[in-house]
Structure 1
Amino acid sequence: MLPTLLRRVHEFSRRLIVRVLLIALCSVLAIVVAKLLGGLIPFGLKDRIGADAVDHILSIIANSMLTVTTFSLTVMVASHQNVSSLWTPRAHQILLQDTTTHTVLATFVGAYLYAVITIILRETEVFKGEELVVLFFVTLMVVVLIVVAIIRWISHLELLGSLIETSGRIERKAQEAYDMRCAYPALGGHVLGPEVPDGAEEVVSETTGYVQQIYQDRLQEAAEEAGGQIHLARPVGAFVYRGEVLGWVTGEGGAEALRRHVSVGSLRNYVQDPGFGLLNLTEIAQRALSPGINDPGTGVDMTGRIARILLSGAVEQDAKVVHDRLYLPMLDRRALVQDSFGAILRSGADHPEIVGAVAAALTALGRHEDPEIAGAAEDLVGRIGSGPAGETLEQSV
């Protein structure tokens, strides 16, 4: 239960509104602290720090933060639109998880709320005497946070939405998912067999969409309580229609648990689905190879990134079974190779540099310790040699 809870909390915390609310809450707490600590200030210090100094700084923060926040939001929206139009619409999700942008915007909004609330309290004379000294130093701390956020934002804007930064993020996400699936090819459960268990209840999907995530620990707990097993028919990343078979369960109450703890939504997810990250890189390569853009260099770069991910590890054939009551589809490594390099080959068959880069990547993958990846790479190499891409390769050599 704890891993699922932590995963859902992590997903929830990556939303912009959550960080804005947290920073805003911290600003309110800072005002409360300033009020409570007023009695600890040595007598006479208030004469050196007047109320005018505090009011002037608060006015500057309130006026500037609203402008900076509006400008930053405009930049963020423009970057999202550029990434969707220039690289691939699927890459838009990677920007929605940009913690640096979220934290910076949350800091600006929080500072603005702090200044506005404090100005209101000052006008009602809530802060008096030594409390103004504490408020002055708290305000200085807010100014420091704003300066740090602006420096981070300027540094972050240098690459925000660029091909290098976007493809690098996608590669890291795909690498994390691939490494996890190599260690747990069936997500910690048994590999799903071809036969349906006797007496199993068929569970159909109540929604139409992609299988986004599987919460294995909750499914394991439900299967233990029901005294049965759960067999999931659809792998992460698969598209399932309403009324199609989602899996089979044995025992009481397993059907509802299967629907509740298998997330089905309109978009694919990077967490457990390395194929989605590879799809993003493939689409970037395909768009770069379109006649309107004609950028084979980007196609070669994406080919190398995909090969780097697949060459980084192999599925552990004797992976430890953590959830002994779950039977889940194994990671389809052949599809990872064929869907990515096959699509790039179709789009770049007329570009010798693309055919050469793909051939080199497939040759390296043909020596992979994973027989599924090696076999898929060898099959594609055979297609290059016998198809139009093979003629292009010979001409380039």
Structure 2
Amino acid sequence: MDRLAGELRFYLNRVNEKLWVKPFAACVLSIGGALLAQLANGTGLGGYVPDVSGESVETLLSIMASSMLVIASLAVGSMVSAYASASNTASPRAFPLVVADDISQFALSAFIGTFIYSLVGLIAVKNSDYDAGGHFVMFILTILVFGIVIFTFVTWIDRIARLGRLGMIMGKVAAATAVALDTRKRAPHLGGVPPRDEAAGRAVFTSRVGYLQHIDIRGLQELAEAVDGRITVAALPGTCITPDIPLAYLHNDANNGDGWDPDEVVQQFQIGRARTFDEDPRYGFVVLSQIACRALSPAINDPGTAIDVIVESQALLTRWQEPLSEDSAPDKACCRVMVPALDVRDLFDDAFTGISRDGAGFIEVGTRLQKALRSLRACGDSETQAAAAHHARRSIGLSQEASLTDDDRAHLRAIFEQGK
């Protein structure tokens, strides 16, 4: 069940990024509503409800059909503008998060779905022999759909005004990264166990090129149990896979690697064209860093955004240090699948390497970065302290070569010395 739930969650997240899913569901529900009204015929419902004429239902449906087509076109135009703004002002890598915005997707789906419902309803009313009960059911469904559209439109106006804004995009990236960090903290080895100190087994490669998005640990466990062997995962989600990079190493106590089907092992690794946020916490830090680096470019010259990114990254890395709550205990591990843990040094590299390079000439960015790293050195574990100290020294070194005054360089070094 755990394996099925994990697989289902991964694929549902991919489906949630598609805009056609909810309108398709609205089409199915519209047909269901027309059939429900047909079922009301001959039940005697018409003798207990107000008399609603077919002409009034047709008029309402016609008004909705004509107006919803215009509103849906307006919604599509507004969302396309928001998507373009997200790519131009933040990072194209944040685009999937903007597309997957629940409120905007629901609004667009509601408008298109209402248009579909209106067409289906008009066809049903004009071509079906509805009695008073059927007309009443169609009338109630139409009023209900109309109310949902009005509420959705009012809510969506506020949302679309902020959808493509840089602050909201940064918030979405930070939220997705926080979820990925919490998931990895609950399962530091993705549901497996730490690697052993043993000789490398038989390497498994794939001819595909792309980014590793998901690993079916339960599937690997079943394959290992079938041959009484073990598997060491060599690539974590987010790794760029090429034919020369091993996915895993196969171990067997009797005859190292014999009895395995490498093709079945490869099938447990989901490889795609782009990285995803679900199981790849490093990707969130990469996207945040790219947003900051774009803001620090000479064409934009917005150090304030870089400072905001530093604060977000500091908050995420601090969150990574927090202990697990009692109700977040990890699930039972797959003892035959060995997976390396996430290296905190990689998180620091993804978060601060680009910012310290591109922000070396901004005293305000350097100051905020040194203070953030000083704080992480003070409250983190030994690995976090070492990573923070490394990037603090690197930032100081870059500032020596930047166009800063001697007083600015002395100021940054003073902050660095305070953290020792």
Report the Cα distance in structure 2 between the residues aligned to 1:129 and 1:49, rounded to whole angstroms: 7
Report the Cα distance in structure 2 between the residues aligned to 1:27 and 1:107, rounded to whole angstroms: 12
Higher alpha-carbon deviation: 102-111 or 265-274: 102-111
Residue 18 in structure 1 maps to residue 21 in structure 2: yes
Higher alpha-carbon deviation: 309-318 or 260-269: 309-318
Pairs within 5 Å for 1:124-273: 124-193=127-196, 195-197=198-200, 200-250=201-251, 252-273=259-280
What do the CA deviations read for 1:351-385 (whole angstroms, capped 9, x no partner)? 00000000001001112333222111011222334
Of 371, 386, 391, which aligns to 2:382? Answer: 371
Query: Between the two proteins, what is the percent identity of the paired residues?
Result: 26
- Tell me if the contact between 1:19 and 1:106 (Cα under 8 Å) persists in the aligned partners: yes
Pairs within 5 Å for 1:51-90: 51-90=54-93
* Code of the aligned partner of 2:45: I
- Tell me if the contact between 1:12 and 1:18 (Cα under 8 Å) persists in the aligned partners: no
- Tell me if the contact between 1:186 and 1:328 (Cα under 8 Å) persists in the aligned partners: yes
TM-score (norm 2): 0.87
Residue 93 in structure 1 maps to residue 96 in structure 2: yes
* Code of the aligned partner of 1:2: L
* Code of the aligned partner of 1:352: I
- Tell me if the contact between 2:72 and 2:111 (Cα under 8 Å) persists in the aligned partners: yes
Of 326, 337, 340, which aligns to 2:337? Answer: 326
> Deviation at 1:315?
8.1
Report the Cα distance in structure 1 between the residues aligned to 2:158 and 2:147, rounded to whole angstroms: 17
Report the Cα distance in structure 1 between the residues aligned to 2:45 and 2:409, rounded to whole angstroms: 79
Partner of 1:307: 314
- Tell me if the contact between 1:359 and 1:381 (Cα under 8 Å) persists in the aligned partners: yes
Report the Cα distance in structure 1 between the residues aligned to 2:242 and 2:232, rounded to whole angstroms: 18
Report the Cα distance in structure 1 between the residues aligned to 2:308 and 2:124, rounded to whole angstroms: 57
- Tell me if the contact between 1:230 and 1:258 (Cα under 8 Å) persists in the aligned partners: no
- Tell me if the contact between 2:30 and 2:121 (Cα under 8 Å) persists in the aligned partners: no
Partner of 2:392: 381
Specify every segment of 5 or more residues in structure 1 that has no aligned partner in the other structure, as ranges. Answer: none
Aligned partner of residue 119 in structure 1, secondary structure = helix
* Code of the aligned partner of 2:5: P
> Deviation at 1:259?
1.3
* Code of the aligned partner of 2:218: D
Partner of 2:5: 3
Report the Cα distance in structure 2 between the residues aligned to 1:321 and 1:125, rounded to whole angstroms: 57
Over 3 Å counting, the alpha-carbon distance change for 1:5 and 1:184 in structure 2 is: closer
Report the Cα distance in structure 1 between the residues aligned to 2:189 and 2:128, rounded to whole angstroms: 63
* Code of the aligned partner of 1:212: Q
Aligned partner of residue 189 in structure 1, secondary structure = coil
What do the CA deviations read for 1:189-214 (whole angstroms, capped 9, x no partner)? 122346444xx332102210111122
Residue 118 in structure 1 maps to residue 121 in structure 2: yes
Report the Cα distance in structure 2 between the residues aligned to 1:184 and 1:162, rounded to whole angstroms: 34
Q: Number of aligned pairs?
A: 394
What do the CA deviations read for 1:247-268 (whole angstroms, capped 9, x no partner)? 1124634523331121111111
TM-score (norm 1): 0.92
What do the CA deviations read for 1:220-276 (whole angstroms, capped 9, x no partner)? 222223322221111221112124321112463452333112111111110111110
Report the Cα distance in structure 2 between the residues aligned to 1:196 and 1:12, rounded to whole angstroms: 37
- Tell me if the contact between 1:205 and 1:259 (Cα under 8 Å) persists in the aligned partners: yes
Of 41, 51, 59, which aligns to 2:45? Answer: 41
> Deviation at 1:177?
0.9
